[in-house]
Amino acid sequence: MTPVNLSRRDEQLLELMDDPNCDPQRLNATLRRFGLVNRLISGWDLIYRRRLRGILTSLDRPARVLDLGSGGGDVLARLAELAARDGIAVDWTGADPDPRAHEAARARAEPGISFLCADADELISRGESFDVVLSNHVLHHLSAAELQQFTAASRQLCSGTVMHTDIARGRLAYGLYSVAITPLAPGTFLRTDGLRSIRRSYQRAELASALGPDWDVSSPAPFRLLAQGAGHV
Q: Where are the alpha helices (DSSP H) in 127-225?
A: 144-156, 171-180, 190-200, 204-211
d(CA 141, CA 6): 16
> What integer pLDDT is reported at residue 3 of this predicted model?
79
Q: In whole numbers, what is the pLDDT of the chain averaged over residues?
A: 96
pLDDT in tens, 143-183: 999 999 999 999 999 999 999 999 999 999 999 999 999 99
Instruction: List the chain pLDDT tens, one digit each, 233 residues.
Output: 567 999 999 999 999 999 999 999 999 999 999 999 999 999 999 999 999 999 999 999 999 999 999 999 999 999 999 999 999 999 999 999 999 999 999 999 999 999 999 999 999 999 999 999 999 999 999 999 999 999 999 999 999 999 999 999 999 999 999 999 999 999 999 999 999 999 999 999 999 999 999 999 999 999 999 999 999 97
**Which of helix, strand or coil describes residue 216?**
strand
Alpha carbon 218 to its chain centroid, in Å, reads 15
**Which of helix, strand or coil describes residue 159?**
strand
> What integer pLDDT is reported at residue 128 of this predicted model?
97
CB 77 within 8 A of CB 108: yes
Cβ-Cβ contacts under 8 Å for 167 (sequence gap 6 or more): 137, 140, 173, 197, 198, 201, 223, 224, 225
pTM of the model: 0.95
> What integer pLDDT is reported at residue 155 of this predicted model?
98
CA distances from 46 to 40, 97, 222, 226 (A): 11, 28, 11, 12
Cβ-Cβ contacts under 8 Å for 109 (sequence gap 6 or more): 73, 115
CB 70 within 8 A of CB 76: yes
Q: Domain 16-230 belongs to what topology?
A: Rossmann fold (3.40.50)
- DSSP state at residue 3: P
Q: Where are the domains of the chain?
A: 16-230
Strand partners, 165: 136, 226
Q: Which long-range contacts (CB under 8 A, 24 or more apart) does 2-11 make?
A: 4/174, 4/195, 4/199, 6/169, 6/170, 6/171, 6/174, 6/198, 6/199, 9/140, 9/169, 9/199, 9/200, 9/201, 9/202, 9/206, 10/196, 10/199, 10/200, 11/143, 11/144, 11/200
d(CA 123, CA 13): 29
